[in-house]
Structure 1
Amino acid sequence: MKKFIDWYYGKATIRKKLVISYLVLVLVPVFVLGNYSYHIARENLLTQTKGTIENSISSIAYNLKANIEREDDNLKYLSYNSTFRERLRTGSKNVTALVKEMNQSVEPVFWYFITSDRNIKGIEIFSPHIENAIGSFLKPEEECKGEDWYDYHQKKFNALWTFEDGNIFATRTLLDAATSSEPIGIMKLEVYPDRFVEPLSQAQFLKNGVLLMDGEQQIIGARELENAELEKEIRQRLPEITEAGQYETKDYILSASGEFENGWRLFYYVDKQEIAGDINKIFRSTVLVSAACLLIITVLISVISRILSSRILKLKQCAEKVGQGEFDVDVETGYTDEIGVVANSFGVMSRKINEMINEVYRLGMEKRATELKALQAMINPHFLYNSLSSIKWKAIRADQDEIADITGLLAKFYRTVLNEGKQITKVANELENVRSYLEIQSRTHENSFDVEYQIPDLGLDFEMPNFLLQPIVENAICHGIDYCEEGERGLIRVEYAPEEEYLYFRIYNNGPDLEEAHLKKVLNEPGKGYGIYNIQERIRMYYGEDCGVTAGVSKDGMICFTIKIKKEITGREA
């Protein structure tokens, strides 16, 4: 990413920058709007799907409940025949009357219901009051003893729906006509399973699955999903679902009905992969529209960027010519927009550069003449050294040893100060310059002060700026030693201490005490001549703000100026 940013800002042409910038500005809203549209359409589709599922399960449940209620009503109607119940109650005593009742009223009615209701497969009555079967419908109770539904009706009289071995039937207790409290038999109405649960095949949607389950969690009827693994997973979860409502996972949407009056429950479910097909259509449509918009925008951006960058490219070509030395270029356009202002300014600049080149050429010739004069002036220091040497030898021949010594010290002092015109010297040369200066001052002050040196043999080859210590030593004499009280002998101590990263020079004098404010003024304000303030500025120029000159009073009461510089010079004096 960093490489791309560097390329974009530093190497890409203006046209590429325009194209990339426009594309980014356009892609972001196109992507956001496309993504938003896709998600809204997806949510609407899921909402619509859930609504369709709810409508489908409601329709199926309604039809199933209608079938159940119709057969419940039929069962109730058939079991309320009072004449038949009276004959059945006394069947063992008066079989003839019972047979007659069966033939005249009961069986015709039963056959009517069986033939008129396509769901009814058969009707049977089991009673303890007969010993043998009578007609097509009445049978002794021995044929049903031991069945779960038989035991149920010994205690309860309401209708019971049973699913057993693939058969569906409803049973109801027959009560005596006189008291309606004594069980006299059980009526059983069996239906065709396929016809009875036929509503399960209705309202097919997205290859949905549907399942009808009784109170014993037996599956009465079902339509399975194409995904067998998902079908198995859903069926394993169904016993856990006890309330009506919709349940959604990442793989499917399931809707459960409330419990029917007979204890049955209905479940309707859809594989989300089927929904994904419609969602993918929406996604492809969104991508197609976005791609078409992007293509049109890209073409427009290319045309616009070419128009906008053409003038900049022309300006670039002129700049390249100027870079090759052709300053006679005409880039003025007469336009007043930003590019026109830059082009006009560039034309003015190129003309001025051409004029400046001519001026620089003229100044160069003058500079050569000045350098020649400076070269002639370099003879002067050598003349000074030679003159001092001649004076020294003449003094020796005249037995004027003191004059010879002072003259030799002067020659050495000026040699180290001038340093052949170089700004950088070695620590050893700088300390030698200080020694010569102090020796000269000692002679001129009639040896009125002492000098102590604490200089180790190590660290003398480090480089440092020339003429850095002498002004501080001079300050120690002029403002320190010269003001000693009468009878007190002056003392100057010169210390050099190289450490890990820094070099420390300390100049002590036993002159009068100075106030802290005065010391700060000496360090931070320029004075007359080449003072300590100038030394401070030179050190900061070479080494930075963490180096410089500090002043204070030592433990033995001497005024001390400390010079702190680095072992390595990090700058150069202008």
Structure 2
Amino acid sequence: MKIGSGLKRKIQNTKFSRKLFAAFFLTSSITLIPLGIYSYYQAHNNLLDKQKQSVKEQIWQANTMLNSQIAQSQTVISSLLYNSEIIQCLNTENISYYQQYLMFQNSLEPTIESIVSSHSNILFVKIYTDNETLKGHSRYLYDLEELPDYDKSSGRMLLNYKINDGKLTALCQYPFQGADLTNVLYIEFRISESLGLMLNGEKKLLLIDGSENRIFESPGTQGYAEYEKAENYQEVRLNGEKYILFVNNIPETGWKSLCFVPEKNMEINDPSILRATFLVLILAIFLCLLMSWLLCRWLLGPMEKLRKHIRQVEEGDFSIEVSSEAEDEIGQLTNAFGAMIKKLNVLVNEVYRSQIVQKEAEFKMLQAQLNPHFLYNTLSFINWSALKAGEKEIAKISRDISSFYRTALNSGKATTTVEEELLNAQSYISIQLALHNNSFDAEYEIGEECRPCQIICNILQPLIENALEHGIDKKRDGRGVLRIFVRKEGEKLVLAVTDNGPGFAGDEEKQAINQESKGYGLKNVNDRIRIFYGDDYGIEIYSNAGEDTRIQIRIPVSAEVN
């Protein structure tokens, strides 16, 4: 329950734009998943059909090769079986050994060799005979009794084929020539190449002749007997394993070839299908993301614009104009908010003006707290007494203090010239040099065209005080350098104080502007500038930790004080 409530709270706190985007994306993506699955299986089945067709063509080529080899074997068998010289030699009886030798050397063996040598796939030729005159006197002649499974009483043996160990074996009896002699031709042909194409990859092969006698059978096919129903791509189970059946005919012999291909060999494991489907799916998801983002941006654009306007008002900007030409709910809400801002702007301006008056009154009250005539008379007396006593250093300090307070009080006025403000800053620096035993240098870069410009008074001294306290006083090695410069940048007047102290670390510069101080610190200066010149102006701090700090003020040139 806690997990469910936490998830619900998290969803509720998620931005509305993200929830709307997720809704669009999920709605469009739901249809992509079944579409991707369908596309994958469609491509998979197409490749499977192509693979079946490829296997079928391969087996057909192997059958064609086997048919061609059988046709060649029949030609060879006919040449050996009906050759008159061979038949005459086999039926010759009662001749001497010398005559036998001549017959074998000049007739029988050359004839057989000429036929065998022209066919490279013939492994060997044997002729089994019961002719007692010829037995054992030629490398081609063997005793008929050595021929296994031969029964003379069953009549003449017709052409009989057997396939074993990649060899085609043919047996056929020579025709009778009057003499009561039996001669049987035995020949072996190499057909391993064509058989190999039909047996590779764990395939199984079954060759059936026209009488449904098995010429060849692979292990495991003994139980299959449905020859009549056999057809291409038929699923067959052999010993519990699934096979795909491919059927072909061998025209030369009238045989039927049944090739069983394991179903697992037909499986498509090509990762390119999955990759292609995945890439298409990724592209579709990307398009869904893009369309969802465009829809959200189109629908939520007015709401986002209204939200930014609300944030601007929240930050105190009541000068914006908010309106909409749309007449839907969001347009009505936008126009109502714009009307509310106009009313608020009137109220805020009234309060703002009252605050300015209050600040100015507070500043004049601070100036009035000092009795300038008493202070000037006292400092003049100290200066005269010091000169009389020969204390020139004390006399100089008293003059600097007098100059500092005269320019700081500024006769109660809120504005002064850059010239007077610089005199105030120089007096303050002279006092600080005396207090710091001249441990730092002061440098000035003042644009002459800036001196008559009007500015609010007492804005440079707090910057110099901050540079001494946080920069020069904290410097551990080397001599401190304080730089004051004033220049124009277009229609802006820039007053800056730079020190070579350790600088601010992290966000200390922001704290220096925003934090309250015991004296007349940076925050007070920044607030006065914003009150007099507007929120676009104020103090800027640029600090490199361990190197230097630059505090500058940017205000309009000769701006009229509001």
Q: State the TM-score, normalized to the length of structure 2.
A: 0.47
The TM-score normalised by the length of structure 1 is: 0.46
